[in-house]
């Protein structure tokens, strides 16, 4: 596959058409509610954590409805757990579908992970064993979810801090098997790739280069916390230079798809978060220039 993106990449461009036009977004977070409603900042879109709004009423839904009068929102889940061996939680899916319809989200994304056993939830995004058996199970769950929700679904690579001894392939090969078998998109989190590459000692560029660019529907960027022997995906710092460089490589391959800055702890002012997010735009121009140069050569 060419290292430069193509303007005619199927199927993401067809199934996720808004991904090429939405631009830069940030997460909708409680500390910013009043600022957004009062000042109507020029944010392109907001990503909404679905589980925070899968309720029957109250202030969260009232705020969300008010936000949707002015902005596009995209739902992002943390509780689908497509890797669960026991299958999907149908009560969760029913509530999620109601929110999908309420928000008119152009797509829904959740994580390539598992998180519950016998009805007990860890509320964490646990890594999967990278085996063919697991890939088949995850793909089946994602196909079911996409068919039930009746909108395109994308799956996000997670950060991880432990690996299974029984892995049969790399994480990126596993992701490729899952998304092709399930016929879903990819939410490419470049910070998660970087975090895992440090923790597990692999080349993050090799990961980005192996991803099927035609399936990338959205990207995440974020900050992390570094410790002596590992780093953790904490979403409480600005994006570091190595992650920006990885992002630049990703959009060189995939194009300037919809990009979301995550900042979920020690949340600063709205203006500071939005200013950090907008740094992504300068990499878009560079990627576009590389694309033109490659095709002129």
1 pLDDT higher than 60: no
Helix (H, G, I), strand (E, B) or coil at 91: helix
Considering only 11-20, 93-102, 128-137, 254-263, which range has the smallest mean pLDDT? 11-20
Q: Please give the CATH number for the structural domain made up of 12-296.
A: 3.20.20.150
Query: In the predicted model, what is the mean pLDDT of the chain?
Result: 87
Distance CA 22, CA 73 (A): 10
Distance CA 145, CA 183 (A): 12
Phi and psi at 11, nearest 5°, equal -95, -5
214 pLDDT higher than 60: yes
- Whole-model pTM? 0.89
């Amino acid at each position: 596959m060419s290292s430069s993106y193509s303007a005619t990449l199927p199927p993401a461009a067809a199934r996720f058409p808004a991904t090429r036009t939405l631009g830069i977004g940030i997460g909708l977070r409680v500390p910013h509610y009043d600022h957004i409603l009062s000042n109507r900042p020029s944010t392109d879109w907001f990503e909404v954590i679905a589980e925070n709004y899968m309720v029957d009423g109250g202030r969260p839904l009232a705020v969300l409805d008010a936000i949707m009068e002015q902005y596009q929102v995209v739902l992002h889940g943390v509780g689908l757990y497509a890797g669960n061996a026991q299958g999907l939680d149908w009560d969760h899916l029913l509530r999620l579908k109601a929110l999908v319809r309420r928000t008119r989200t152009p797509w829904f994304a959740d994580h390539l992970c598992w998180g519950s056993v016998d009805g007990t939830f860890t509320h964490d995004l646990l890594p999967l064993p990278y085996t063919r058996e697991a890939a088949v199970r995850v793909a089946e769950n994602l196909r079911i979810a996409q068919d039930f929700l009746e909108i395109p679904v994308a799956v996000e690579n997670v950060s991880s801090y432990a690996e299974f001894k029984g892995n049969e392939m790399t994480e990126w090969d596993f992701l490729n098997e899952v998304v092709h078998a399930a016929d879903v998109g990819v939410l490419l989190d470049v910070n998660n790739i970087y975090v895992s590459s440090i923790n597990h000692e692999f080349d993050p560029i090799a990961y980005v280069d192996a991803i099927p660019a035609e399936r990338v529907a959205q990207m995440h960027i974020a900050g992390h916390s570094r410790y002596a022997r590992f780093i953790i995906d904490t979403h409480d710092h600005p994006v570091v230079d190595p992650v920006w460089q990885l992002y630049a490589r990703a959009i060189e391959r995939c194009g300037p798809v919809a990009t979301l800055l995550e900042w979920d702890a020690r949340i600063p002012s709205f203006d500071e978060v939005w200013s950090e997010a907008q740094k992504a735009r300068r990499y878009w121009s560079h990627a576009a220039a590389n694309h033109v140069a490659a095709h002129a050569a």
